[in-house]
Amino acid sequence: MAEGAQKEYWRWPEGTWVNPDIDWQKGTIITAGVDVGSVSSQGVVVVDGELYSFGNTRTGFDSPDSARKAMDRALAETDLTLGNIDYCIGTGYGRVNVPMAQRTITEIACHARGANFMYGPEVRTVMDMGGQDCKAINCDDKGKVLNFMMNDKCAAGTGRGMEVFADLIRVPVWEIGPRSFQIEKEPPTISSTCVVFAKSEVMGLLEQGVPENDIIAAYCAAMAHRIMGLLNHLGVHEKFVITGGIAKNEGVVKRLEEALGIKTAEQVWYKAEYQDCPFDTQIAGAVGAALFAEAMVSKGKVKSVRKA
């Protein structure tokens, strides 16, 4: 493509991590979760219910390939192979296309379960802000879903919407959050709900000479406002956490907190022994899937498919 050399402002950093404290060969049950979302895919490996490794990557055009890529990333820095895994569960938008998975579970259940593990049992509301949809989930102390609401019809308030905006304003997506606070005062929000219309509104503002950071702030505020509608409908309860890619954007998160009058929980592992592990809000779904797999194998509900 002729535009190949053009900078890709939407491109966020991909990640990999392996737990140095775990020797998988000493583990009894090794399970995996693969979350193939519309924008990103994650693979997570759990050894006896403890996080062993994960990989986070961008989803390509082909779901099975994206699932393999995510799992490859999770396994890349380990000597573990797919054959060593007892059971694997697929989740996310592309969950039916996860070749290494024996079963699928919806991403709503997985995000609630994953958030429970990552942020602790006090979590009651999980807002999963994914690439192409957002879901507000209320759950109990076991991470079991009590109720949820989702928007999957409209890009406003989704990661994809933020990527489109980043490309338009030519600012890398991870700089959007910090730059949205480099302003003199909070500007009026973008009035268009629709991302496509917001695009023309943003062009107009740029033309008028409105500072870039003000426009970034206005867009973050518009997105926070959009998400708030969903949360108010469902009811938000503390501990309130955000999972998914937008959780990494403080420009949206802080404005959402302000509008709701509720703080989100700090992005740190509930279990102190993980303090050196990077906290990646995008892996919650895959973590949940891997934990469900672990529970099923350990309770004897499913048979291990382990080959080696």
Partner 1 sequence: MIVVGIDVGGKNAHIVVLKDGNIVAKGEAATGIQKAEAVETLYDEMLNKTGFNREDVTRVVATGSAGKRVAFADGVIADAVAGARGVNRLIPSARTVIDVGAEEGSAIKVSPEGKVLDFAVNEKCAAGTGTFVETMARALEITVEEMATISLQSNSSIPMNAQCAVFGESEVVSLIHQKIEKQDIAKAVHDAVAGRIASVARIIGLEADVVVIGGMAKNSGFIDSLTRETAMDVIVPDDPDFIGALGAAESAALGV
Q: Is residue 132 within the footprint of partner 1 (CB under 8 A)? A: yes
Q: How far apart are CA 15 and CA 256, in angstroms?
A: 26
- For partner 1, give the closer residue by CB, 63 or 102: 63
- For partner 1, give the closer residue by CB, 208 or 275: 208
Q: How far apart are CA 307 and CA 260, in angstroms?
A: 50
The amino acid sitting at 227 is I
76, 96, 146, 203: which one contacts partner 1 (CB under 8 A)? 203
- CB–CB of 44/288 below 8 Å? no
Number of residues engaging partner 1 in binding (CB under 8 A)? 20
Q: Give the SS3 label for residue 18.
A: strand
Residue 55 beta carbon to partner 1: minimum distance, rounded to whole angstroms: 23
Site string for partner 1, 255-274 (x = CB under 8 A): --------------------
Residue 57 beta carbon to partner 1: minimum distance, rounded to whole angstroms: 17
Picking from 136, 55, 133, the residue whose alpha carbon sits closest to that of residue 93 is 133
**How many other CB atoms sit within 10 Å of the CB of residue 265?**
17
The amino acid sitting at 237 is H
- Strand-by-strand arrangement of the 87-91 sheet: 15-18, 50-58, 40-47, 30-36, 87-91, 103-104
- For partner 1, give the closer residue by CB, 182 or 197: 197
- CB–CB of 264/295 below 8 Å? no
The window from 96-104, 181-189, 200-208, 289-297 that contacts partner 1 (CB under 8 A) reads 200-208
The window from 77-85, 114-122, 151-159, 214-222 that contacts partner 1 (CB under 8 A) reads 151-159
DSSP, res 271? S
Residue 168 beta carbon to partner 1: minimum distance, rounded to whole angstroms: 12
Q: What are the tokens at 111? A: 């995000």
Residue 40 beta carbon to partner 1: minimum distance, rounded to whole angstroms: 14
111, 113, 124, 160: which one contacts partner 1 (CB under 8 A)? 160
Site string for partner 1, 58-97 (x = CB under 8 A): ---xx-----------------------------------
Site string for partner 1, 206-245 (x = CB under 8 A): -x--------------------------------------
164, 217, 252, 297: which one contacts partner 1 (CB under 8 A)? 164
Q: Is residue 195 within the footprint of partner 1 (CB under 8 A)? A: yes
Residue 79 beta carbon to partner 1: minimum distance, rounded to whole angstroms: 35
- CB–CB of 91/117 below 8 Å? no
Q: What are the tokens at 239? A: 């501990």
**Residues facing residue 264 across a β-bridge:** 240
DSSP, res 144? -
The window from 25-33, 96-104, 153-161, 221-229 that contacts partner 1 (CB under 8 A) reads 153-161
Q: How far apart are CA 35 and CA 154, in angstroms?
A: 21
Q: Is residue 178 within the footprint of partner 1 (CB under 8 A)? A: no
Sign of CA dihedral 257, 263, 267, 269: negative
**Residues facing residue 88 across a β-bridge:** 32
Interface positions with partner 1 (CB under 8 A): 38, 61-62, 132, 153-155, 160-161, 164, 192-197, 200, 203-204, 207
